[in-house]
Structures are given as C-alpha cells and as structure tokens.
Amino acid sequence: MTHARNLPLGPELEKVEKEVQRHRIFVQLGEEIVAVNEQICQLRPVPVVDDENELEQLKKQLRMHFAAKRTKK
C-alpha cells in the first residue's frame, strides 16, 4: 500500500527520505538472500538410490505424502 503525503522541507522530509532509502536497502538484501538460497539449492547434490527396494519404499512414502495433502484440501 502506498501513501501520498505532502511533507514540508526540513527534518520531517529528511526522516522520510532516510526511511525510504532503508526500505530500498532492505528489499535489495531480501532479493540477494533469495538469490543465494537458490544457488545453494542448485548446488545441493541429489541423493542417489541404488537399492531397488529402497527406491520403491521412497516412492510409496511420497505417494502417501501427496495423497494426504490432497485429502486435506
């Protein structure tokens, strides 16, 4: 939400300008955190499942997990 205000020159205007600048820095830092998190996720190795029984068990758990999510809606 945005607010339009007419501010008189002086300390009040300077205060608001500083707050706006701090908010812009905050937004930029948030974007940088998201970018770093995405890079970390891309670099994280995918686990390899060699055992066929373990793979079937994992598939079964995932089916049950997603089936439970569908019934909660």
Taking only the tens place, the pLDDT of each residue in 4-13 is: 778 788 888 8
In a domain, 5, yes or no: no
3 state SS of 38 = helix
In a domain, 27, yes or no: yes
Number of domains in the chain: 1
In a domain, 61, yes or no: yes
Residue 30 is encoded by which pair of tokens? 């948030």
Contact 49, 59 (CB under 8 A): no
pLDDT at 7: 79
- What mean pLDDT comes out for the span 30-56? 92
pTM, to two decimals: 0.56
The residues, ordered by sequence, that sit 6+ positions from 55 with a Cβ below 8 Å of its Cβ are: 49
Print the domain residue range for 62. 11-72
In a domain, 3, yes or no: no
In order, the DSSP letters of 29-67 are HHHHHHHHHHHHHHHSPPPP---HHHHHHHHHHHHHHHH
